[in-house]
Amino acid sequence: MKISLPKGVNIDIDNVPNDLEDVIGRAFAEYTEGTAAEYTFADKLCFIDAVTKRLHHRDSGNVQNLIKQRFNYELMEQGRIMDSDEFYGDMAFFEDCYTLGAKDSSLYSYDYCEDRRDNEKIMKILVRVITAVMNWDDHNE
């Protein structure tokens, strides 16, 4: 299984390169190119957020799926078509969206893929990626 990280970095989780930290360092250097030095730490956190987003396959489709599931439930189980205004006033729906967003932003996760062992491999890679990014400085390049 391969995971896709920012700046075109693709990692086979069963064949992680020994120089992963160097690969990530080069990708981060490209990511932060042109940024003023005083904003490097912001770039580090943004890069880690981008990695997490990719690992979770996070996009707006997740909320759309919640809407579809809710609509389908109301139609199939309750026999009625929901009005769109019902979503806007439904605190439980907003809590579900918030919970999904928090889950999709978590570094610790067993939802990167379906296999628990593969999730462990991905989390191990993620720790190495975070360490490489946090230890990066432009003097390394």
Write the DSSP string, 76-127: HHH--PPPTHHHHT-HHHHHHHHHHHHHTT-SS-S-SSS-HHHHHHHHHHHH
* pLDDT of 99: 81
Higher pLDDT, 100 or 80: 80
CA nearest to 90, candidates 111, 104, 73: 73
Reported as a single tens digit per residue, the pLDDT across 34-67 is 989 899 999 999 999 999 988 987 665 677 788 8
Calculate what percentage of the chain has a pLDDT beyond 90: 49
Structure tokens at 105: 């932003």
Sign of CA dihedral 48, 51, 57, 60: positive
* This prediction's pTM: 0.76
Domain boundaries, the chain: 1-58+108-141, 59-103
